[in-house]
Structure 1
Amino acid sequence: MRIAIFSDNFYPELSGVSDSIINLAKELVKFGHQVVFFVPKYSLKNFKKSGLPKRELDLGKSVKIYRLGSIPFSGSSSQARMVLPSLWRWLKVKKINPDIIHTQLIYGVGLEALTAAKFLKIPLVGTNHTYLREFIRYSPIHAEWFKTYALHYDAWYYNCCDYVTAPSNCVFDEMVKNGFLKPHQVISNPIDTESFLPGSERKRLEAKKEFKLTPSTIFYPGRIAAEKKIDVIVRALAIVKEKIPDVNFAIAGHGNSLSNLKILIRELGLDRNVKIFGILDKPTLVRLYQGCDIFAIASTSETQSITMLQAMACGLPVVGVNSLALPEYINSKNGLLVEAGDYKAMAEKIIYLFQNHSKMQELGQGGHKFAQNFSAENIARQWEKIYSKVIAMKK
């Protein structure tokens, strides 16, 4: 099959969507398929933000990447781009002649996908990665009517697709409330289970030495943004410190809430306990996972959380919040749940795990086993079946 993937987020932007579709493309190519990306063009500043040289991602001869002109746009990653839709880009798609179009987001590039599918009569699959209600805050319009309009637009957009997926049921629950009607199913984003693995005790100690981490280290990697609620973990850390004075909280990533987070860390007297590493390449990120002990997530915007699944794959127990998709992935065999925003309860669970190493090990092993369900190979095989089914439906 020749598969055209349209996305408003892509390399080098820090984004779970980007990571997901890149992993998917790599695996589909192994199965003999061709993949063509239509994605925004990013500036030199965007590449520098990720600590990367400005050159195109090389995914092999069977993957082509077409960059669409874009302008800067407000977003939590500080790298977001907006593609202004045109009436002619479908002609480029016509030359490629894909068997199916797979759209990831509802913005400028997503509208290009709708246009191409309509004009060329190509089957269209949509994936909704986003709980839109949490991201409307980044819009320049804050009126209540706009929120209502945006949620209905989201449902309208995916009603234009022949088949729709999302990584969790909570996404569909919200969409149905706003008029979504199309055939749909939950399918996870893929994770690289070949890279994200538990480390041996020797590797764990080497990583702790490399990153200067104590024996009790909590970890959060990802965007540093308001909806991620990292402040909840920091407040929990202050309580944990009373019982475990040398506790560390390692953070990897960047985002527009970093300066506010640093102020809170300083106010709570946690400067020596918190280590912020910025954006890391994959091998370094894997080593950091392996050097940490507990993964914590307090986000109220997750439709899955790629980094949480990476943590599980690396054998880390999870302490998360009972919000949106997190309880769909955190269970009694891989982690512990607390109510959203309850930093005292989160601190209690973290202390419990640090003081019960057998439970930490049990949950870590359970998480590693659970994460194998979402390997890139397993998810790509599912996508193969979906693409074939939708193509057959349209004939």
Structure 2
Amino acid sequence: MPKKDVNHINLLFLGRLVLYKCADIVIESIGKLAQAIKSKISLKIVGEGSERNNLENRVKELNLGEIVSFLGWVNQSETLDYYRKADIFYFPSVRKFGGAVVMEAMACGLPCIVANNGGIGEYVNEDTGFKIEPISREYLTQELTSKIQMLVEDARLRESMSAKAIEKAQKFAWENKAIKIFDIYEKMLGEKRVSAST
């Protein structure tokens, strides 16, 4: 795999383009960045949905056509390539509780910026990325802008979060889940044997 350009940071949003996934917040956040930061980044939006036209129009209004590109729907098998080429993953969805895409991104070593909502908020911690309280759209936008800037400017932080994201994702691998479930059963059976003998 070709080496990433350390002077250019690739941002990724992957998901259906519907209101509650909040791809618009990612676009608005990028629009608020200083030009010096904008010149160092690009954002790939992978996905399709009813909001695509609105999102493309907003990109034009904010003059972000050089930074933001829409790639449409891709096969699940192709998403791995997009994760591998990215440096930071954004998923500020306010209604998605499982968020498998976040775990996939972490497994590929991406620091993640997410809304602290449902299971997604459980995956991401201060070592692996940032979770933002979904207080309001304005707050999410403001915080996302701040976190993007922080990660773009701090290569060490990105590297550290990348390593920790991989480490955390490994705990969710199926074989590790199976071991944990087995340990729980063993513990429960042991407690049952103790209580039965007393």
TM-score band by shorter chain is 0.7 to 0.9
Q: TM-score, with normalisation over the residues of structure 1?
A: 0.42
| 2:121 is aligned with 1:327 | yes
| 2:79 is aligned with 1:281 | no
Rounded Cα–Cα distance in structure 2 between residues aligned with 1:368 and 1:203: 20
1:224: which partner in 2? 17
- 1:317 Cα deviation from its structure 2 partner: 0.5
1:371: which partner in 2? 169
1:361: which partner in 2? 159
Aligned with 2:38: secondary structure? coil
1:303 to 68, 79, 97: 97
Distance 1:239 1:379, change over 3 A: same
Higher RCO (C-alpha under 8 Å, 6+ residues apart): 2
1:293: which partner in 2? 87
Aligned with 1:374: secondary structure? coil
> Structure 1: any 5+ residue segments left out of the alignment?
1-201, 209-213, 387-395
**Amino acid paired to 1:229:** C
Deviations 1:181-202 (A, max 9, x none): xxxxxxxxxxxxxxxxxxxxx4
Contact kept in structure 2, 1:315 and 1:364, CA below 8 Å: yes
- 1:372 Cα deviation from its structure 2 partner: 0.9
1:188: which partner in 2? none
1:338 to 108, 114, 132: 132
Deviations 1:79-103 (A, max 9, x none): xxxxxxxxxxxxxxxxxxxxxxxxx
1:255: which partner in 2? 49
Contact kept in structure 2, 1:294 and 1:316, CA below 8 Å: yes
Aligned with 2:16: secondary structure? coil
Contact kept in structure 2, 1:253 and 1:277, CA below 8 Å: yes
**Amino acid paired to 2:43:** F
Q: TM-score, with normalisation over the residues of structure 2?
A: 0.80
| 2:116 is aligned with 1:318 | no
Aligned with 1:272: secondary structure? coil
**Amino acid paired to 2:124:** I
Contact kept in structure 1, 2:15 and 2:47, CA below 8 Å: yes
More helix, by proportion: 2
> Structure 2: any 5+ residue segments left out of the alignment?
185-198
**Amino acid paired to 1:370:** K
| 2:147 is aligned with 1:349 | yes
Contact kept in structure 2, 1:251 and 1:275, CA below 8 Å: yes
Deviations 1:253-273 (A, max 9, x none): 111211111121111111121
Distance 1:249 1:376, change over 3 A: same
Where do residues 117-136 of structure 1 align in structure 2 (5 Å cutoff)?
A: none
Deviating beyond 4 angstroms after TM superposition, the runs of 4 or more aligned structure 1 residues are 379-386
**Amino acid paired to 1:272:** E
Percentage of pairs with the same residue: 24
Distance 1:383 1:221, change over 3 A: farther
Aligned with 2:130: secondary structure? strand
1:245: which partner in 2? 38
Contact kept in structure 2, 1:304 and 1:329, CA below 8 Å: no
Where do residues 23-42 of structure 1 align in structure 2 (5 Å cutoff)?
A: none
